[in-house]
Chain A
Amino acid sequence: MRRWPASYVLAAPVAVLAILPLLVLLDLGAGAETLWDPHWLEVLWQSLALAGLTVLGALILGVPLAVMTAYVRLPLRGLWLPLLAAPLAMPSYIGAFTFYAAFGPGGEIEALTGIPTPELRGLTGAAVVMSLYTFPFVLLTTRASLRGLDASVLDAARTLGLSLPQALWRAVLPRVRRGIAAGALLAALYTLSDFGTPAIMGVDTFTRVIFVEYNAFGLSQAAMLSLHLLVIVGLILFLESRFGTEQERPGRTLVLTPGAAAGSAMMAAALLVAALAVALPLALFGIWIARDGLAGFDPMTAVNSAWAAALAAVGAVVLALPVAFAALSGRAGRIMDRATYLGFGVPGIVMGTALVHLGLRIPYLYQTLFLLVLAYTLRFLPLAVGAVRSTAERLDNNLTHAARLLGASRREAFRRVSLPLTLRGVVAGGALVFLEAMRELPATLMLRPTGFDTLATELWRVYEAGYFGRAGVPGLLLVLISGVALVLMVSGERGLKTGLADNKG
């Protein structure tokens, strides 16, 4: 019958490599003494409570802001979406770190202004921080659905006697519930996978306990916990795959022009959210730099971050190319494509656990930069695959057909037509991987060679030592990097959507 497309031959090993961490964990888990420790029930409860509260918070913030950015005509039109999407680009541990330092008795806010603030730690603190950094998921998925709706349905609802809020509630939001649900699931997924925030806020979720076990040399315990976490993550991913997005016939998009008071109130609300999520960390890092100066900052941490991330970006793009094209060539290719998405569902801490074990089993691998880069590459491979595939997808088949009919061989058609047209995706994918890897915390903590400090681990060290002033420079750099990531993601609505679909996890 048909011969295998060339891309399959290259994509199949990548797919195998991508599921390697899972195999390693299963191997490790098989050697564990207990499958389930009763103490873990509390861990499960804490994890689910944090995820649930975060989803709630993300919905409360995300849905109204989605309606605002989708429909309401406000001054400074181009500002609001990037501003509100900004928290998505920032790692939440930055937020957790600054909230931890800012609030409570003796916190930075009290030290600066004399106003006592309640302590924001534990489950509440973690939920607040996670909500602030995950609501953009809800905002973006909901907004995308809202933009696809035809305004005439709302007009019809209003001619039938509903007020504007009623009409939005009854004739608009029900049509985007799948978009909202998709955003909520992404928020839950991100929360379950996140290490930094619960670790800093002191919530015993799976990720934090895995790290504790790892430090106590309980690698098999860590592996077992990792597998449990993966089951939950898998469940959520499965749920998410059941939600398509709404497909309605596109039409005129609704435009609402608010009165002066209502408009100001909306802008104030949006600014408050952005201030808490973005401005507060920036302000604190700025204050710390002003107070403590640049002393104590080792520029090598930035160089290390960039170097490891650059290697990971190149690695991810090279691995992503065949997978993306295989995904478009047929069923088997789509399965390979799906396999590489495993990294998306594998939390950083779990990837770290798996590769530590691998490193200990294979000589010369443990404590090498290669292992760290491999972790980054596998973890963020979906970003690269997604970016390349989404540009490749838009390639019209007729273009390669046309090239071949003009006399170009398969190889030449790929080189001269398909490849240049996917270059945008390759660059975008590489850049996303680079920026994500620069900010990665848990896997870096577990896998970095001794003495190899990155910006993220530096921040962690500062937190553990309790000397916050030292966090100024690395923190500011991490926010800057996040800013670049954001610009990349919002350079075009389409880019934002693709970035979102595959981002984080």
Chain B
Amino acid sequence: MLEVRDLSVAYGQTRVLDGLDFQLGEDEILMLVGPTGCGKTTVLRALAGLVRPNAGEIVLGDKRITPKRDVPPEKRRVGMVFQDFALFPHLSVIDNVAFRLSDRTGAYEWLERLGLSSLADAMPERLSGGQKQRVALARALAHEPQLMLLDEPLSNLDAALKDTLRWDIRIALKEAGVPAIWVTHDQEEALSVGDRLGVLNNGHMEQLDTPEQCFSQPTSRFAARFLGEAAFVRGRREGDLVLTPLGNAPALKAGGHGEPVDLLVRPDDLTVVPSKEGNGVVEWRRYEGESRLYAIRVCEGEALRVRTNHEQDLSVGCPVHLRISSEHPLAAFPAESAAG
């Protein structure tokens, strides 16, 4: 469906995308995350034909696009949902959705499916943010694109709306059976909505896998830190286990027998209990409603975060015992000289 090979884009001297490779299946939703300036939006603009790549190729359906053989945006059949919606302010909702359609049936169908029927004749300025986003989605889908691009579609909306809308968008995309690339900076969105997840860093793909794999088995420290809270504990490999000051834990690959490794621990891989002869003290605590988050300072080194049941109430300064309690294998990385 979509194949991107060795795609590079530069603005002047600045390289924004550097040899990007990936493929997208029939109706797959790929979430793209990464820090500001990592090139997420540029990927979309390159696929849409709004910026010309310097190298590489894009195979989109039956079209092969290279720096020499450009295909203008209007010939690509790519739908895009912009961060600021980009609804035509002088056209009504239905005129927006049916912008280039001679037969408006499809447009009305999409309005209906997205619960916008009553707004068909409204002007965009009268719509709420969530409605605008739905209209933008309907407009793109009604034109039957072969690929959808969503550029942080929910970032201008408030939190309560985001939650329902992101599932509405996913359902609509699946109904249309269109593959999509969805750029977001919201971790929760990135992990939950898509079929696959790509972590972009500095113009290259740090990891591209299912959300589960990306979260539990990050291939790099960067990916580990970017998705969720991450800390590293120095240990030594013994077979399938890594021995650490916080107990032994099953671990994945990385490092030979007896070699030092850094073990990735997330707040829910740890267990803390009050103990007079413990190995640490509570440095600070945060109440999160359903759970509590503690920072535990273990003798020397960085404070580790641990998430517990909300019933476990430890006061600051309380001596505790902290240990790794994960039953699934944890990701391990070859030890870095300055551990962390």
A positions within 8 Å CB-CB of B: 396, 398-399, 401-410, 413, 416-417, 420-421
Instruction: Confirm or deny: B153 has a beta carbon within 8 angstroms of a beta carbon on chain A.
Output: no
Chain A residues positioned under 8 Å from B82 (CB to CB): 398, 401-402
Task: Choose one: B48, B84, B88, B90; the contact of A405 (CB below 8 Å).
Answer: B48
Given contacts A396-B84, A398-B82, contact A405 B89 (CB under 8 A): no
Question: Chain A's nearest CB lies how many Å from the CB of B58?
Answer: 15
Contact yes or no, B89 A404, CB < 8 A = no
Given contacts A401-B48, A401-B50, A401-B73, contact A406 B86 (CB under 8 A): no
Contact yes or no, B100 A406, CB < 8 A = yes
Chain A residues positioned under 8 Å from B86 (CB to CB): 396, 398-399, 401-402
Of B50, B72, B140, chain A has the most CB atoms within 10 Å of the CB of B50
Which residue on chain A has the smallest CB distance to residue B50?
Answer: A401
Give 1 or 0 for each of B74-97: 1 = CB within 8 Å of chain A CB.
Answer: 111111101010101110000000
Chain A residues positioned under 8 Å from B143 (CB to CB): 406-407
Number of residue pairs spanning A and B whose beta carbons lie under 8 angstroms apart: 60
Give 1 or 0 for each of B151-169: 1 = CB within 8 Å of chain A CB.
Answer: 0000000000000000000
Instruction: Confirm or deny: B236 has a beta carbon within 8 angstroms of a beta carbon on chain A.
Output: no
> Chain A binding site: helix, strand, loop or mixed by DSSP?
helix
Task: Choose one: B50, B79, B84, B89; the contact of A421 (CB below 8 Å).
Answer: B89
8 shortest interchain CB distances as A-B pairs = A398-B86, A404-B73, A402-B86, A398-B82, A404-B74, A405-B80, A407-B74, A407-B100
Contact yes or no, B78 A398, CB < 8 A = no
Chain A residues positioned under 8 Å from B140 (CB to CB): 405-406
Which residue on chain B has the smallest CB distance to residue A400?
Answer: B86
Chain B residues positioned under 8 Å from A405 (CB to CB): 48-49, 73-74, 76, 78-80, 140, 145
Chain A residues positioned under 8 Å from B90 (CB to CB): 420-421
B positions within 8 Å CB-CB of A: 48-50, 72-80, 82, 84, 86, 88-90, 99-100, 139-140, 143, 145
Task: Choose one: B75, B84, B99; the contact of A398 (CB below 8 Å).
Answer: B84
Chain B residues positioned under 8 Å from A417 (CB to CB): 88
Contact yes or no, A406 B99, CB < 8 A = yes
In the complex, 7 of the A-B residue pairs with CB atoms within 8 angstroms, ordered by the A residue number, are A406-B74, A406-B140, A407-B143, A408-B74, A408-B99, A409-B74, A421-B89
Chain A residues positioned under 8 Å from B74 (CB to CB): 404-409, 413
Question: Chain A's nearest CB lies how many Å from the CB of B212?
Answer: 33
Question: Chain A's nearest CB lies how many Å from the CB of B45?
Answer: 9
Q: How far is the CA of A403 from the CA of B99 in the complex (A)?
A: 8
Question: Chain B's nearest CB lies how many Å from the CB of A393?
Answer: 14
Q: How far is the CA of A260 from the CA of B82 in the complex (A)?
A: 53
Contact yes or no, A403 B88, CB < 8 A = yes
Question: Chain B's nearest CB lies how many Å from the CB of A417?
Answer: 6
Chain B residues positioned under 8 Å from A407 (CB to CB): 74-75, 77, 100, 143
Question: Chain B's nearest CB lies how many Å from the CB of A397?
Answer: 9
> Chain B binding site: helix, strand, loop or mixed by DSSP?
loop
Q: How far is the CA of A410 from the CA of B90 in the complex (A)?
A: 18
Chain A residues positioned under 8 Å from B50 (CB to CB): 401
Q: How far is the CA of A18 from the CA of B49 in the complex (A)?
A: 36
Q: How far is the CA of A52 from the CA of B80 in the complex (A)?
A: 57
Question: Chain B's nearest CB lies how many Å from the CB of A423?
Answer: 8
Contact yes or no, A401 B100, CB < 8 A = no
Chain A residues positioned under 8 Å from B84 (CB to CB): 396, 398
Q: How far is the CA of A408 from the CA of B77 in the complex (A)?
A: 10
Of A405, A409, A421, chain B has the most CB atoms within 10 Å of the CB of A405
Chain B residues positioned under 8 Å from A402 (CB to CB): 80, 82, 86, 88, 139
Of B76, B79, B84, B90, chain A has the most CB atoms within 10 Å of the CB of B90
Which residue on chain A has the smallest CB distance to residue B81?
Answer: A402
Q: How far is the CA of A60 from the CA of B193 in the complex (A)?
A: 64
Which residue on chain A has the smallest CB distance to residue B145?
Answer: A405
Chain A residues positioned under 8 Å from B49 (CB to CB): 404-405
Q: How far is the CA of A402 from the CA of B72 in the complex (A)?
A: 13
Chain B residues positioned under 8 Å from A409 (CB to CB): 72, 74
Question: Chain B's nearest CB lies how many Å from the CB of A12?
Answer: 24
Given contacts A398-B84, A401-B50, contact A406 B139 (CB under 8 A): yes
Chain B residues positioned under 8 Å from A413 (CB to CB): 74
Chain A residues positioned under 8 Å from B89 (CB to CB): 399, 421
Chain B residues positioned under 8 Å from A421 (CB to CB): 88-90
Chain B residues positioned under 8 Å from A410 (CB to CB): 72
Chain A residues positioned under 8 Å from B100 (CB to CB): 406-408
Q: How far is the CA of A402 from the CA of B48 in the complex (A)?
A: 10
Chain B residues positioned under 8 Å from A420 (CB to CB): 90
Which residue on chain B has the smallest CB distance to residue A423?
Answer: B90
Question: Chain B's nearest CB lies how many Å from the CB of A137?
Answer: 32
Contact yes or no, A399 B88, CB < 8 A = yes
Chain A residues positioned under 8 Å from B72 (CB to CB): 404, 409-410
Question: Chain B's nearest CB lies how many Å from the CB of A18?
Answer: 30
Chain A residues positioned under 8 Å from B79 (CB to CB): 405-406
Question: Chain B's nearest CB lies how many Å from the CB of A4?
Answer: 16
Q: How far is the CA of A403 from the CA of B50 in the complex (A)?
A: 12
Q: How far is the CA of A53 from the CA of B143 in the complex (A)?
A: 64
Q: How far is the CA of A466 from the CA of B255 in the complex (A)?
A: 105
Of A399, A406, A416, chain B has the most CB atoms within 10 Å of the CB of A406
Which residue on chain B has the smallest CB distance to residue A421?
Answer: B90
Q: How far is the CA of A404 from the CA of B86 in the complex (A)?
A: 12
Question: Chain B's nearest CB lies how many Å from the CB of A357?
Answer: 45
Q: How far is the CA of A80 from the CA of B15 in the complex (A)?
A: 55
Q: How far is the CA of A403 from the CA of B90 in the complex (A)?
A: 13
Q: How far is the CA of A442 from the CA of B69 in the complex (A)?
A: 57
Q: How far is the CA of A406 from the CA of B77 in the complex (A)?
A: 7
Task: Choose one: B75, B77, B80; the contact of A401 (CB below 8 Å).
Answer: B80
Q: How far is the CA of A22 from the CA of B72 in the complex (A)?
A: 42
Question: Chain B's nearest CB lies how many Å from the CB of A492?
Answer: 15
Q: How far is the CA of A202 from the CA of B174 in the complex (A)?
A: 81
Which residue on chain A has the smallest CB distance to residue B151?
Answer: A398
Which residue on chain B has the smallest CB distance to residue A413?
Answer: B74
Q: How far is the CA of A308 from the CA of B52 in the complex (A)?
A: 48
Q: How far is the CA of A407 from the CA of B76 in the complex (A)?
A: 8
Which residue on chain B has the smallest CB distance to residue A420?
Answer: B90
Q: How far is the CA of A399 from the CA of B136 in the complex (A)?
A: 11
Of B84, B86, B90, chain A has the most CB atoms within 10 Å of the CB of B86
Q: How far is the CA of A404 from the CA of B100 in the complex (A)?
A: 10
Chain A residues positioned under 8 Å from B48 (CB to CB): 401, 405
Question: Chain B's nearest CB lies how many Å from the CB of A3?
Answer: 11
Chain B residues positioned under 8 Å from A406 (CB to CB): 74, 79, 99-100, 139-140, 143
Q: How far is the CA of A417 from the CA of B99 in the complex (A)?
A: 10
Q: How far is the CA of A409 from the CA of B74 in the complex (A)?
A: 6
Q: How far is the CA of A365 from the CA of B80 in the complex (A)?
A: 54
Which residue on chain B has the smallest CB distance to residue A417?
Answer: B88
Of B48, B74, B84, chain A has the most CB atoms within 10 Å of the CB of B74
Question: Chain A's nearest CB lies how many Å from the CB of B188?
Answer: 26
Which residue on chain B has the smallest CB distance to residue A399?
Answer: B86
Q: How far is the CA of A320 from the CA of B86 in the complex (A)?
A: 26
Q: How far is the CA of A403 from the CA of B78 in the complex (A)?
A: 11
Q: How far is the CA of A416 from the CA of B140 in the complex (A)?
A: 17
Q: How far is the CA of A398 from the CA of B100 in the complex (A)?
A: 17
Question: Chain B's nearest CB lies how many Å from the CB of A428?
Answer: 16
Chain B residues positioned under 8 Å from A398 (CB to CB): 82, 84, 86
Question: Chain A's nearest CB lies how many Å from the CB of B145?
Answer: 8
Question: Chain A's nearest CB lies how many Å from the CB of B73?
Answer: 4
Of A402, A413, A421, chain B has the most CB atoms within 10 Å of the CB of A402
Q: How far is the CA of A406 from the CA of B84 in the complex (A)?
A: 16
Question: Chain B's nearest CB lies how many Å from the CB of A331?
Answer: 14
Chain B residues positioned under 8 Å from A404 (CB to CB): 49, 72-74
* A398-B82, A402-B88, A405-B73 given; 6 more Cβ-contact pairs under 8 Å: A396-B84, A396-B86, A401-B82, A405-B48, A405-B80, A409-B74
